[in-house]
Structure 1
Amino acid sequence: MSNLVNLAVIYYSATGTGTAIANEIAGAAESAGAAVRVRKAAELAPQAAIDSNPHWAAHHAATADVPTPSPEDLTWADAVVFGSPTRFGNIAAQLKQFFDTLSPLFQAGALADKVYSGFTSTGTRHGGHESTLLAMYNSIHHFGGIIVPPGYTDPVKWVDGNPYGTSHHAVLGPDLGSIDEDTRNAARHQAERVVRIARALKQGSPA
């Protein structure tokens, strides 16, 4: 059996923080030997709302060529990392809408026994980082998926401080949409752990 792991990174980002995390995870996963697909959930907000926020408008235009996810991406994947900004302690409607298209795969059992993990960002230090990831994982429980959180399994997680997934405090200002080295380290560790465990499961060997 091939040791190649297929990893889908499926996320939504309005102003670019999630895109930065998704790209960091994708790069680390590729370095760990995975085949990676990066997919950005389709925008649902009206253009007037997007245009009202210069950061949102700029990022929407800059990521217009990023493919949107399809159920086939999950069929292909051995592992999936989902990402969403916090929306009142929950995942964004754009990612939730994609989840809601997955009933046929769910009913066929095609979402079970895959590895899943998640990341998030929010504009305040304690504004729903953990609750957003836990809410995201509620769907994974229904899928019958195998949740692989980063936990405190590496020193970088004691710095990042979130065992449920990578998260970032996105501060409003000129650097909005960028991430710091602590977040990059956490994202790389999460990607490597997801790939390693997904590979072990695929091969039927100890992780």
Structure 2
Amino acid sequence: MYRMVKVLVLFYGYGSIVELAKEVYRGAQESGAEVRLRRARETMPPELVEKMRIPLDSVKDIPEATLDDLVWADGIVMGSPTRFGNMAGPLKTFLDQTGPLFGKGALVGKAVGFFTEANTMHGGHETTVLTMSTFAYHHGMVIVPVGYAIPEVGSTTAGGSPYGASHLSSLKELDEKERVIARFLGRRVAEVARKLSSP
């Protein structure tokens, strides 16, 4: 019998990154995990939110993440759209607040995976995952990549890579291979978290 593990799906963004987060969530649920979906708070000034037409209302039903969510989880899957090859500022702002957790070693040994989206094939899918991974290295977490463990990674013509799940956002809707890869990532992080947290 599997031990019930707890997985946090943490993201920043709107639109298709939310759909990607939900696919990761479904994958973790399929593995039998208890899953929380949480978002990083928007940090742009209100005038920029309005000017850039950021749809805050589209995620209002998803709770904002707290440091307690990170402590609660056995495994974490975090995602952000790329911003010039890097994670978006609001996710980094949230992660920058984890100093007290670092001091206690609260995240050491927890499984972590990553997902992202970019508008073009070479717009930062891999580099954005790598920028998120540096957080995990410093906290002593166990990075869980997708690898080539499923055939969709080697045959996708949109998003998804051995680094993690991703979406080619110029296509608007997630394609089926992107969904499969995202669900696999959720399951994989849950499975590794279960093994790491077993007595």
Normalised to the residue count of structure 1, the TM-score between the two structures is 0.90
Q: Shift of residue 48 of structure 1?
A: 2.6
Q: Shift of residue 46 of structure 1?
A: 2.1
What is the one-letter code of the residue matched to 1:40?
R
> Displaced runs of 4+ in structure 1, greater than 3 A?
none
1:31 corresponds to 2:26: no
- Segments of structure 1 that go 5 or more residues without pairing to the other structure are none
Match of 1:203?
A: 198
Match of 1:188?
A: 183
Q: Shift of residue 2 of structure 1?
A: 6.7
Q: Counterparts of 2:10 and 2:27 in 1: how far apart (Å)?
A: 15
Q: Counterparts of 2:37 and 2:105 in 1: how far apart (Å)?
A: 23
Alignment of 1:1-207 (within 5 A): 3-13=3-13, 15-54=14-53, 56-57=54-55, 60-160=56-156, 162-171=161-170, 176=172, 178-203=173-198
What is the one-letter code of the residue matched to 1:49?
L
Q: Counterparts of 2:178 and 2:47 in 1: how far apart (Å)?
A: 31
Q: Shift of residue 182 of structure 1?
A: 1.4
Percent of aligned pairs with the same amino acid:
40
Q: Counterparts of 1:95 and 1:142 in 2: how far apart (Å)?
A: 16
Normalised to the residue count of structure 2, the TM-score between the two structures is 0.93
Number of residue pairs aligned between Structure 1 and Structure 2: 196
Post-superposition CA distance 1:120-147 (Å, at most 9, x none): 0011111110001011101100000000
Q: Counterparts of 1:197 and 1:159 in 2: how far apart (Å)?
A: 25
